[in-house]
A and B are shown apart, each in its own frame.
Chain A
Amino acid sequence: MLNISGIVNGVVLDHIQAGKSMQIYKYLGLDKLDCQIAIIKNVRSDKMGKKDIIKIECGIDTLNLDVLGYLDHNITINIISDGKVCDKIPLTLPKKITNVIRCKNPRCITSVEPHLPHIFHLTDPETELYRCAYCEEKYR
């Protein structure tokens, strides 16, 4: 088994769907951080069979939890302090997400005014449906 040392202070994103860690790396903007980051793919898991884990040596405030909640609210967030898990943060579907997904409706005002932020609202939590704040088009 591959051995990766634990982090002393930072955040561990656990129970990421296997293969999704690079997507999360991109959406969270982790490439812009200067700290140590470990991406571990296809870790054996009793619960999931296989899973991905990301370890990040940074404060929780650095991460946009709304993005994470939108991408996969089953991810576990462990806050690590002095080498120990000191807190777990539950994720929920965010009510509003900004600049994570883009409206694909060619008739939407965002298609001609590129400076506008792409904002989506959660309109049906049951079906996890998001609609564009401007044109109300569904995001699929």
Chain B
Amino acid sequence: MKHLLNPLDFTVEETNRLLDLASDIEKHPDRYAHLCDGKKIATLFYEPSTRTRLSFEAAMMNLGGKALGFSDAANSSASKGETVEDTIRVVSCYADICAMRHPKEGAPYVASLFSRIPIINAGDGGHQHPTQTLADLLTIRSLQGRLDNFTIGFCGDLKFGRTVHSLINALTRYSNIKFILISPPELKVPDYVRDDVLQGFEYEEVTSLEEAMPKLDVLYMTRVQRERFFNEEEYIRMKDSYILDAEKMALAKDNTLVLHPLPRVNEIAPEVDNDPRASYFKQVQYAVYVRMALILTLLDLAPELN
């Protein structure tokens, strides 16, 4: 039985097969509408994340299955002190597959040790969020047509953003990708990303989004959170330089993709939403396709593609 706990749990071949399946689902949703008839997904969300939970439930329903679960630890037996181990043993009797979001890092791994059903890590603290990474890969591949030979810029909080670290990690497995890391000095990527992940790859660290814009094929925006700054003045000084607006978009190529893991606060001005290059809402749709493909794969229900 296979689980998905880390973005790199799947080999490049397995990942590509999953993305192929997701693309086929996008083209022929009707062929997949009943493959999970009678199946159930348990969404165990020990901390609220409406978007991710709904995405998993929608994915299962699109396949003909049903969803059950909780969206807050207060509504679960965890509030009575039940361990993850016991919870998953119980839930294994109710559902065929489980997506778990937990504030503590490694909780889905613990679940996988005791589970009789496949576990999908739907985010564990600041640790991993593999389905977001798969959704990002599918979005880039679908809208750009390839996962190699391009320049991607990551902008904003690169220090604490786990989606950024996971995506960089996943992209280093494809060839000829150049990374431009755009952030204030306080929010640069952690040393381990620079030393362990980016070592040997072409990358540069810059502070100006404007200067980077013309070089980018993909721009991955993230939120710059106020609480990450040492002082208020610094935040006010920095925050505007990392807000994407029409003026900055004018510097970009005609086909640059703008992605964002959402929710956004103010780092992308609403005026950008109507720009055809803004792809962050398409990213949400691709996330559903990739989760459908993942559910089918982990349940061994994926059809052979020609």
Contacts and interface: CB of A to CB of B under 8 A. Distances in A.
A38 interface: no
B127 to A, nearest CB: 6
B105 A105 contact: yes
Interface string B89-109: 000000000000011111101
Contacts of B85: 113
Interface residues of A, number: 16
Contacts of B102: 109
A107 B105 contact: yes
Given A109-B84, A115-B83, A133 B104 contact: no
A108 B105 contact: yes
Given A105-B105, A108-B104, A113 B126 contact: no
B83 A134 contact: no
Contacts of B84: 109, 113
B269 interface: no
A107 B104 contact: yes
Contacts of A105: 105
B83 A108 contact: no
Interface in A25-44: none
Contacts of B124: 109, 135
A45 interface: no
Interface in B169-193: none
Given A133-B109, A134-B109, A134-B110, A107 B103 contact: yes
B64 interface: no
A135 B83 contact: no
A55 B106 CA distance: 40
Interface residues of B, number: 15
A112 interface: yes
A132 to B, nearest CB: 7
A136 interface: yes
A112 B125 CA distance: 13
A109 B83 CA distance: 10
Contacts of A137: 105
Interface string A87-109: 00000000000000000010111
B173 to A, nearest CB: 18
Interface in B101-123: 102-107, 109-110
A113 B110 contact: yes
A64 interface: no
A135 B124 CA distance: 9
B105 A135 contact: yes
Most A-side CB within 10 Å, residue of B84, B104, B110, B126: B104
Interface of B: 83-85, 102-107, 109-110, 124-127
Interface of A: 105, 107-113, 115-116, 132-137
14 contacts: A107-B103, A107-B105, A107-B125, A109-B106, A109-B109, A109-B110, A111-B104, A112-B104, A133-B106, A134-B107, A134-B110, A135-B105, A135-B124, A135-B127
Given A109-B104, A113-B84, A113-B85, 8 more contacts: A107-B103, A107-B105, A107-B125, A109-B106, A135-B105, A136-B105, A136-B106, A137-B105
* Cβ-closest 3 pairs across A and B: A134-B106, A135-B105, A109-B104
